[in-house]
Structure 1
Amino acid sequence: MKNTLFRSAAAMAVVIPSLLMAGHSQAEDLSAAEAFYDGNTINWIVPYSPGGGYDEYSRLIIPYFEKYTGASVRLQNNPGAGGMRGANDIYRAPKDGLTVGIVNGSALVTNQLAGIEGAVYQFEKYGFLGRVVADQRVLAVSTRGDFETIEEMVESNSTFKVGATGLGGSTYVDALVAGELFDLNQDIIHGFDSSSVIRQAMLRRDIVGMWGSYGSAIQDVEDGMQKIVLQSGQERTAAIPDAPTVLELAERMNLGADKMAVLRAWQGLNDVGRPVVTPPGVAADRLTFLQRAFEQALNDPEFVAKAENAGRDLSFVNGERMAEIATDAAVMPEAAKAFFIEAVSGGI
């Protein structure tokens, strides 16, 4: 099967566990929930600034979420602390089912493992509507910089700077893990408000590159401003044929067992991707109604076409499966767990 970043609507119908197509039965009578949401207002929190991938995904989804909930949806950008501020706001919101949000799942899991100050949530206790996408993570460098390949970065004797958002955010964790696995001579400059601000620093040549999702990097790559030199996953995607995978690089460098355990845990965290969640404790009928509406929205043919036209990857899973993925990500070999705890807490 051809390996592509984007899954068509037809392909998704085969691989997605679906409440609609799998005949998922619900004991709850959803008529009361449907009446509750009809004409009501849902607050949709994005834990990053406008213009980034989380914001763009949300703006694509919201019209269809409105279509299937019957509610109006108000988008609210709550950036800060590498996405934790917005995640905390969702977690602490009223449990009436009128607050949802898209979050950086892998970063939230690692922050929780490390006990990062300010992480008031327990990730597994969110209500999960489902996952939008499991990010294809990439290391992109500025075409105005000094590097054209990951090999040049590995072999560099001079220290170079890599940008990241808040301590514990995915851009930070990816950079830190890659640096430790592949012995990169790098300084991670964290604290940028968003990925778009990091890209501006790359244009100024203040930093050489950054980790992020392929969807967030693609426009700058197409514009000739960035080049992808490394990608997550076990196989190169068709969209990025010239950049090796982290597994390729690991095998080439003959990493030991401990580092390979960390690499596999890193990959598992990436599978958590970008879920849409509610606060814990939302009534079962309302959560089920929102899960159903979210699944209908993500499978709407018009939405799928718009996502494809926007170059936005989709790898949807439903709320039940997303909860399982989140739990699995937190279970890792002790050596890998200890590494992530030390890394995210700033010990590395």
Structure 2
Amino acid sequence: MKTVSSKRKALLSFLAGVAFVGLPAVASAQDAAASYPNKPIRLIVPFAPGGAADAMGRLVAEHLQSKWGQPVVIDNKPGAGSALGVGLLAKAPNDGYTIGMGNIAANAINPALQPALTNYQPVTDFSAVTMLGVTPLVLVVNAEKVPAKTLPEFIAFLKANPGKLAYGSSGSGTSLHIAMELFLQKTGTKMLHVPYKGSAPMMTDLLGGQVVVAIDAATTSWPQVQAGKLRALAVAGSEKAFFAPDLPLLSDQVAGFDMKPWHGLLAPAGTPPAIVNKISQEVRAFLRTPEAQAKFQDKGIVRAGSSPQEFQSFMAKELEMYKKIIADAGIKPE
């Protein structure tokens, strides 16, 4: 019969053996991260060349390549509202040599709107690396059709004319549509929705007065504000707009309004955490530089930067938030 002491020794011996068995795997992961990268890296951009998202991807690729001495090759895979490229990333090898860009549409809005048509899990199929940037949205009104000069005045104007005014969006279920629906939900106001096939025709009718308000990307709406054709009432996001620091935040005046179109760097789920952290730290170091700030702002983007854990948690919360907004507003895909 074993004594308590002998049982304790046996247990300690067993635990030591288990720990020893696990050591090679830990050492192997650490070695892989230390030698990473030792071959070219593929960076999937789920958009066509030439846009702001593509520019972000190329800036990141250039920085990593200059720091690590290995090619970082941009692979543009546009299609299905960016879901094609993001879906390819989800199924790529998880060895750290394929990374890519996720975004609010492919990882939150579209899966919340059409889960049956999404061939990947928008959060759990990915290892978050870091958020790269946010596209500022501006609430703008037709300067001739809307008398309100401030956001509180505009909300009062809507409440005095329930359901009589129309807003435009770039399409049913798009981020611009959902942003306006969130605004209406949080302010208790009602408007007619006129969906367009893209931002360009929507802007044409907004300038013409067929619709009187929109939440739109600053890159397209701000020139019209400067021309005096539109009036900006607020900016959506978590910080003041670099192009208009005096413009109030929507979230400061509309409780619960928290929406910002984002782009982030992802890896396939199961990518070694040490490699994910190595990429994240290097990219975040770049995002903190004045060079990154200037180049991102030149494309109308506010640089971000977050830890893998912060970004993973953010994506999960975003998905649930958009599920609720879409359900509450009764939004259906086109």
Q: TM-score, normalised by structure 1?
A: 0.66
Is the contact made by 2:45 and 2:53 (CA closer than 8 Å) also made in structure 1?
Answer: no
Task: List aligned pairs for 1:159-238, cutoff 5 A.
Answer: 159-165=165-171, 167=173, 169-182=174-187, 183-189=189-195, 191-192=197-198, 195=199, 198-199=202-203, 202=206, 207-214=211-218, 217-222=221-226, 224=228, 226-232=230-236
| RCO higher in structure (CA 8 A, sep ≥6) | 1
Is the contact made by 2:46 and 2:84 (CA closer than 8 Å) also made in structure 1?
Answer: no
Offset from partner CA, 1:178-197 (integer Å, 9 cap, x none)? 233332322140543xx456
Deviation at 1:34, TM superposition (A): 1.7
CA shift in 2, pair 1:72/1:114, >3 Å = closer
CA shift in 2, pair 1:325/1:338, >3 Å = closer
Question: Is 2:315 aligned against 1:326?
Answer: yes
Is the contact made by 1:129 and 1:277 (CA closer than 8 Å) also made in structure 2?
Answer: yes
Task: List aligned pairs for 1:1-348, cutoff 5 A.
Answer: 28-29=30-31, 30-36=33-39, 40-47=40-47, 52-69=51-68, 70-76=70-76, 78-81=78-81, 83-105=82-104, 108-113=107-112, 116-125=115-124, 126-142=126-142, 146-147=145-146, 149=148, 151=154, 152-153=157-158, 155-156=160-161, 158-165=164-171, 167=173, 169-182=174-187, 183-189=189-195, 191-192=197-198, 195=199, 198-199=202-203, 202=206, 207-214=211-218, 217-222=221-226, 224=228, 226-232=230-236, 239=244, 241-243=246-248, 245-248=250-253, 250=254, 264=256, 266-267=257-258, 270=260, 273-308=262-297, 312-329=301-318, 338-343=324-329, 345-346=331-332
Residue 266 of structure 2 aligns to a residue whose secondary structure is strand
Is the contact made by 2:106 and 2:122 (CA closer than 8 Å) also made in structure 1?
Answer: no
List alignment gaps of at least 5 residues for structure 2: 1-27
Is the contact made by 1:45 and 1:77 (CA closer than 8 Å) also made in structure 2?
Answer: yes
Deviation at 1:131, TM superposition (A): 0.8
Q: Give the greater-gyration-radius structure (CA).
A: 2
CA shift in 2, pair 1:84/1:291, >3 Å = same
How many matched pairs?
A: 294
RMSD: 3.9
Letter in 2 for 1:160: A
Residue 36 of structure 2 aligns to a residue whose secondary structure is helix
List alignment gaps of at least 5 residues for structure 1: 1-25, 251-262
2-side partners of 1:337 and 1:346: how far apart? 12
CA shift in 2, pair 1:138/1:184, >3 Å = farther
Residue 164 of structure 2 aligns to a residue whose secondary structure is coil
Deviation at 1:100, TM superposition (A): 3.1
Identity of aligned residues (%): 15
2-side partners of 1:79 and 1:34: how far apart? 29
Letter in 2 for 1:121: Y
CA shift in 2, pair 1:240/1:298, >3 Å = closer
2-side partners of 1:128 and 1:118: how far apart? 22
